[in-house]
Amino acid sequence: MKILSKLSVKPFNVPLEGLEKERASGVKLVPNICRMCTASCSILVEVRNGKAVRVYGNPYATYHNKGHVCPRGNSGPLQLENPDRLRTPLKRRGSERGSWDFEEVDYKTAIAEMASIIKEKLEEGAPWKVVLVVGQAAAAAYNDPISMAIAPTIGTDNVINIPLSTCIGSKLLSWGFSGAPGHHAFLVPDYERTKYFLSFGRNLGGSVAVGQTAKAGAKLGSYKLVVMDPRLSEWAAKADEWVPVKPGTDLAVFLAMLNVIINEGLYDETYLKKYTNAPMLIYKDTLELVETKNIVVKNPMKEFEVVDFLVFDEASDSFKFSREAKLPSLTYEGEYEGKPVTTVFNALKEHLKDYTPEWAERVSGVPKEVVEKLAAEFAMTRPAAVETGWSANKYFNHFQLYRAAAVLSIVTGNFLRPGGVVLSMGGIGKVLQRAAPPVAGPPVKEKPSKLYEYESETPIALSDGTVTKGPLIPWGRGYHGLLRFVEENKGVVIIILGGNPARTFMGQAFQKVAKHPNVEKIIDIGLMKDDSVLYSDLFIPECGYLERYNVLSGIPFSLAKGFMAAFPAVEAECKDMLTIWADAFRELGLLEKYLSKLENVLCPGCDVKEALEKGDFESVIRKQCEKQGVKFDDVKNKGIVYLTDDSWGLEMNAKILENGWLNTASGKVEILPLKLLKIIKSRKGELKPEWHPLPTWVPPIWMRKALASDEFVLLTGKEKNMSYTWLQPNPLLSWIVDDSKKIWINKARGQRLGINDGEVVEVCAGEECVRGPAKLTEGIVPEAIYVPPNYGFEVKLTFGKYKDLKFNVLQSPFLIDPVTGTHLLSDVIVKVKR
């Protein structure tokens, strides 16, 4: 293809000395941050004659992507000169949404139109009628400015966050309730020091989050890799052991592993006594705490109160508070003030008693001998790490799945320890600020958002046959309430920021919303031609990431303390997201309010409002560097700088553990989460398997009925070169996409249905179907079918493939997690036909 000739053909990953040699010869290399996925790799962009011709993994990124970049990152320059890039604002001529009928307008006119639309809502006293839809691309670069500056300046709390609502919600709380922020950039497996890695729910070999794969892949062979997956994915193919498991039943295996570890005495007794609430005394029949007192604790960033709990101290043969006891008992059982009491450890052991390896085999299909072996290996191989999750909202039981993973890490003494699961630089900061989950998501206000209200009233059928009203902890960041929102409120305005909800909202939710008469206007701020533009009234183009700054930020996944930033590689006639909003708020007379909030997000107390108004982000970065104690010239030259090596992160994890600084009610690692107990009592009043504070079996929804002969459980997972629908127009990625056999079907089941290998089949959920070539294989369990998620489009794309493979039409926007209300990616039954 002619457009591919614009790229340099040098190797993907050039060592540091090679790049320095190029710079010395006059080659211009500009630091930037890759935004072709959310992993945010540090890159250097080769520029010749004012054009970006090559992207290199930044070799200065020692503790991040280690000088590596994937094909997506390499293809970044092709986004800039892509024939499907939209460079001019577009305004609908008056036709119905869903048709490509626009006139081009200039930027000033588009901003005035956008401001006028918002102003009307403000004058009505109804800023809440403005709904912001934040896509993956915008969330990676602008999440805090959007939620803490743009939305508050408008005056709306109705913000739909696609990553939060469809990717990471359940695991944030699952890990968070034990004391560590569950975001994948903040809590990571320590690949470089582990001896055993148990991976599940993620295809690390296909997702290509280079900041993690560069570490995990480099150490393959130095640790045992076990991958539990219904499909023989790229990561499973690299494993020392692939454990095929029925969809959504990983939880059963983990519960049985915990059963074996505790009953066989394979747990880390010293760790549990010293760092966790396993010795905490509770009443046997209620799980309520026996006695507590508040004490003041101080970490390097904050002074705060924690709850100290009662234990039985074996050293003094008496009851004492945990921070005073010398030898807390894990297994005490007796009476306190005439009432029967026990320890959390005993309660956990009793709770797990029926989750035997034999039971797990019946549920998951994993032989009991394998379950027993996994338990013994994980407990006895030190250190061992378990997957912390990425796209973790897949099945109805995933809150409990990641609770089980957290407790598995805790009972074996691998939580916040080298080679186990550790806090990154960002996670350390969040814990010390006590600003991270357990209770993630936006704060609940006296007058919560409309989306929060609707989410709180959504009926959810639980596994015991009862129906609950709303999830345990609604966030109001999903879109299942949006349909009701537009049904009940006239004059709704939807503003899309860096996303493609027409392809990422499940089912036809976005199309239904877009065509509703109560939706007054839809504004789309983005880069590429996509299906969401097709349903918009006004489109405003923003800069590509290689054309804009990214202010100073911490380094994701890193145990070393450092910072990175991005600088424009090329000059362009475009505006970045923050400047677009500054121009709109200037029209609205809200510029000062916006700049004050934005300054407080980016650099509090730095006096950068004037620079922000001018779009002078280089001055903002200078001020940020001064505040963080790093040299601006180093940042501008290298793109990434480190203040420490990774020993700093390991030391901070140890200090947090040793001093009881975790973000829990007790400050300790919590197996029985005290904040969760409090929330259950105040919001639901009863324990249910879905939100039980101890890891509990919850069947996936698909298990509530038997599968018919033509029915399968829908699996999905990212492909390494096509991770988002907005990458479909990219010519390089389209060119290297595997053109064959996209839909994986178990060979024996496919043959029974008369399906031939390579034959085009239809996969249907209700009336909605997708089409694609079938791959008959023994590399997928019989119950499952795999469909890749990032294809399909309505608009005409120059290089797009698999137009009819619109994965999201098979999903349901009303299938939500019972704890957080986030959308479930899988747990859907589909039919297959020739």
Q: Which residue, 541, 560, 587, sits at the end of a domain? A: 541
Is 368 found in the same domain as 261? yes
Domain assignment of residue 389, yes or no: yes
CA 532-536-539 angle, to 5 degrees, is 95
Is 682 found in the same domain as 661? yes
- Which residue range is the domain that position 786 belongs to? 705-833
Is 193 found in the same domain as 137? no
Question: According to the model, what pLDDT value does residue 9 have?
Answer: 46
Residue with tokens 């039943």: 249
Structural contact between residues 227 and 664, judged by C-beta atoms closer than 8 angstroms:
no
Question: According to the model, what pLDDT value does residue 255 have?
Answer: 99
Domain assignment of residue 608, yes or no: no
Structural contact between residues 56 and 20, judged by C-beta atoms closer than 8 angstroms:
no
Domain assignment of residue 578, yes or no: no
Q: Which residue, 520, 541, 562, sits at the end of a domain? A: 541
Say which DSSP state 719 is in.
B
Domain assignment of residue 622, yes or no: yes
Q: Identify the CATH number of the domain in which residue 742 sits.
A: 2.40.40.20
Is 502 found in the same domain as 381? no
Cα separations in angstroms, 399 against 92, 591, 690, 694, 715? 43, 41, 8, 11, 18
Cα separations in angstroms, 807 against 429, 505, 668? 37, 10, 42
Is 143 found in the same domain as 206? no
Is 148 found in the same domain as 240? no
Residue 2, Cβ neighbours under 10 Å: how many? 6
Is 822 found in the same domain as 719? yes
> How would DSSP label each residue in 648-692?
HHHHHHHHHHHHT-SSSSSSSB-SS-HHHHHHHHHHT-S--GGG-
Is 98 found in the same domain as 76? no
Q: Identify the CATH number of the domain in which residue 123 sits.
A: 3.40.50.740
Is 735 found in the same domain as 808? yes
Distance of CA 70 to the CA centre of its chain: 20
Residues 126-144, buried b or exposed e (16+ Cβ, 10 A)?
bbbbbbbbbbbbbbbbbbe
Q: Which strands, in side-by-side order, build the sheet including 492-497?
A: 102-104, 90-92, 538-541, 519-526, 492-497, 130-134, 159-161
Structural contact between residues 780 and 230, judged by C-beta atoms closer than 8 angstroms:
yes
Residue 763 β-bridge partners: 770, 832
pTM of this structure: 0.95
Question: According to the model, what pLDDT value does residue 440 have?
Answer: 43
Is 364 found in the same domain as 228? yes
Is 408 found in the same domain as 259? yes
Question: According to the model, what pLDDT value does residue 801 have?
Answer: 84
Q: Hey, CA dihedral for 416, 422, 424, 429, is it positive or negative? A: negative
Question: How many domains does one find in the chain?
Answer: 4
Domain assignment of residue 681, yes or no: yes
Domain assignment of residue 582, yes or no: no
Residue with tokens 């993994």: 57
Convert the pLDDT of each residue in 688-716 to its tens digit. 999 999 999 999 999 999 999 999 999 98
Distance CA 240, CA 223 (A): 9
Q: Which residue, 524, 541, 558, sits at the end of a domain? A: 541
Say which DSSP state 703 is in.
G
Q: Identify the CATH number of the domain in which residue 54 sits.
A: 3.30.200.210
Which amino acid type is present at position 731?
P
Domain assignment of residue 155, yes or no: yes
Q: Identify the CATH number of the domain in which residue 206 sits.
A: 3.40.228.10
Convert the pLDDT of each residue in 484-534 to its tens digit. 999 999 999 999 999 899 998 888 899 999 999 999 999 999 999 999 999
Distance CA 641, CA 714 (A): 43
β-pair type (102-104, 51-57): unpaired
Q: Show the low-confidence residues of the chain (pLDDT under 50).
A: 9, 11, 438-444
Distance CA 489, CA 495 (A): 16
Domain assignment of residue 225, yes or no: yes
Question: According to the model, what pLDDT value does residue 8 have?
Answer: 53
Is 186 found in the same domain as 107? no
